[in-house]
A and B are shown apart, each in its own frame.
Chain A
């Protein structure tokens, strides 16, 4: 995939926001790929978790915000405990989700849940889902 690099992107406000919200050293990642190898949701993702952090490093935040991947991370923290560089990638995913949600976007809406699901799903699933997918 072709990426155009620019000084502007590397110093962008959005990249700074990801850094502040996640409190992570974005440059610590050296692309070993362990996060992607162990991610339980990877088969449904459009972009690998290790690619997301690479894009963030390069200031390609807008691209990252358009992926399905950031919404599929369930913050299970498998990548965090395995990362040899101590990066908490789940926090970067959360920061990216927050950038979308803070424009008052609902990624998930209660009306979209079928009635029979509401009967069956335990409330912890619903609460967690709305916590991660609504502002």
Chain B
């Protein structure tokens, strides 16, 4: 289970997931020496060096005898799946990439390790019904806006849902757990991604539109699985509120944070990592004591 931001800004995502999986009797082991995935997949035909990180991580999973690699971060999911698809489709590039792996004893052929996102694990291995049976709290009137962003859905070849434009895996998951999802036309719109570093106005504008759509459609929370979407949607809301009369802030939580609360694991959530405090609305909806 790799992911750099899961150790810092997105600690909540990792701790609540680990607690939840323990409650579901799913045993996971962190890969001892995973590499940075590069976060954004290189799109230039000859830039193979950019694929070494993800492929090396897959190779390490193969060496460790792990046929499945669980990922939480949507950016890890995207780069790992696409680098794997490249190696599978192009033997010449596969051989060139493997030629860089001089410290590793085995090669990576492409199909030895399956990259599994948390949503896929919950759907295919645990099962939404079985997950519901482990929950101890009712979601009551809680309404969420499921936000997919880009990296779980595009390009189509690696999408976790049959539809890149109107996915429903999160609605199915939360629906099975008794949580209502609202109509949310911005659920697959880009948050502005890494433009948050030097083109902030783009991201602020995206965050305003996405958050406003969730609020307008009656959501209490936005739910995501991408640490970069989380940052972009959460962090800028305070300044948007100051600049935009009538703008209402909305907390942004990871999938696993809500599920952990429903499973009765309050302590796994560290709400100090949120810019928009989710505690008031969670208390109001009876999910937090």
A contact residues vs B (CB 8 Å cutoff): 20-23, 40-41, 43-44, 72, 74-78, 80-82, 88, 90-91, 93-95, 98, 108, 112-113, 117, 120-129, 131-133
Name the residue on B nearest A41 (C-beta): B202
| Residues B45 and A124 in contact, CB atoms below 8 Å apart | no
Whether B40 and A131, one on each chain, are in contact in the complex, defined by CB atoms closer than 8 angstroms, is yes
Q: How far is the CB of A78 from chain B (nearest CB, A)?
A: 6
- Interchain CB contact under 8 A, B154 and A124: no
5 additional contacts (CB under 8 A) given A40-B190, A41-B190, A131-B39: A41-B195, A44-B201, A72-B202, A94-B42, A122-B227
Interface contact A125-B45, CB-CB below 8 Å: no
Interface residues of B (CB under 8 A from A): 4-5, 8-10, 36, 38-47, 50, 73, 75, 150, 153-156, 164-165, 188-190, 192-199, 201-202, 205-206, 227-228, 231, 235
A-B residue pairs, 6 tightest by C-beta: A128-B194, A76-B190, A77-B154, A94-B43, A129-B197, A74-B193
Asked if A121 contacts B231 (CB within 8 A), the reply is yes
CA distance A91 to B4 in the complex (A): 26
The answer to whether residues A74 and B36 also contact, given A81-B155, A122-B5, A122-B227 and a CB cut-off of 8 A, is no
Which residue of A is nearest B149, CB measured?
A76
Q: Given A122-B10, A122-B231, A124-B39 in contact, is the A44-B202 Cβ separation under 8 Å?
A: yes
Asked if residues A21 and B198 are in contact (CB atoms below 8 Å), the reply is no
* A131 to B, closest residue via Cβ: B40
Q: Using Cβ atoms and an 8 Å threshold, which residues of chain A touch B154?
A: 76-78, 80-81
Residues of A within 8 Å of B153, CB to CB, are 81
Q: Which residues of A contact B8 (CB under 8 A)?
A: 122-123
Candidates B42, B190, B231; contact of A131 at CB < 8 Å: B42
Whether the Cβ atoms of B164 and A132 lie closer than 8 Å is: no
Distance, CA A7 to CA B188, complexed state (A): 42
Given contacts A125-B231, A131-B40, contact A76 B193 (CB under 8 A): yes
Contact yes or no, A123 B5, CB < 8 A: yes
List of A residues within 8 angstroms of B39 by Cβ: 124, 127-128, 131
Residue of A nearest to B275 (CB): A120
A125–B190 touching, CB < 8 Å: no
Q: Which of B36, B40, B188 has the most CB of A within 10 A?
A: B40
Q: Within 8 Å CB of A108, what residues of B?
A: 197-198
Residue of A nearest to B195 (CB): A74
Residue of B nearest to A133 (CB): B198
Nearest chain B CB to A75 CB, angstrom units: 6
CB-based contact B194/A74 at 8 Å: yes
Query: Would you give the shortest CB distance from A70 to chain B, in whole angstroms?
Result: 12
- The chain A residue with its CB closest to the CB of B47 is A98
A23 adjacent to B45 (CB under 8 Å): yes
A103 CB, min distance to chain B CBs, angstroms: 15
A78 to B188, CA, bound (A): 9
**CA gap between A122 and B164 in the complex, in Å:** 26
Q: How far is the CB of B207 from chain A (nearest CB, A)?
A: 11
A22–B198 Cα gap in the complex (Å)? 25
Shortest distance between the CB of A121 and any CB in chain B (Å): 6
A21 and B198 CA atoms in complex are apart in Å by: 25
Instruction: Identify B38's interface contact among A40, A98, A117, A131, CB under 8 A.
Output: A131
CB contact between B36 and one of A127, A132, A133 (< 8 Å): that residue: A127
Which A-chain residue is minimally distant from B40 (CB atoms)?
Answer: A128
A84 to B47 Cα, complex, angstroms: 27
Q: List 14 A-B contacts (CB under 8 A).
A: A44-B199, A72-B199, A75-B41, A76-B150, A78-B154, A81-B156, A88-B155, A121-B196, A124-B75, A127-B38, A127-B40, A129-B197, A131-B38, A131-B42
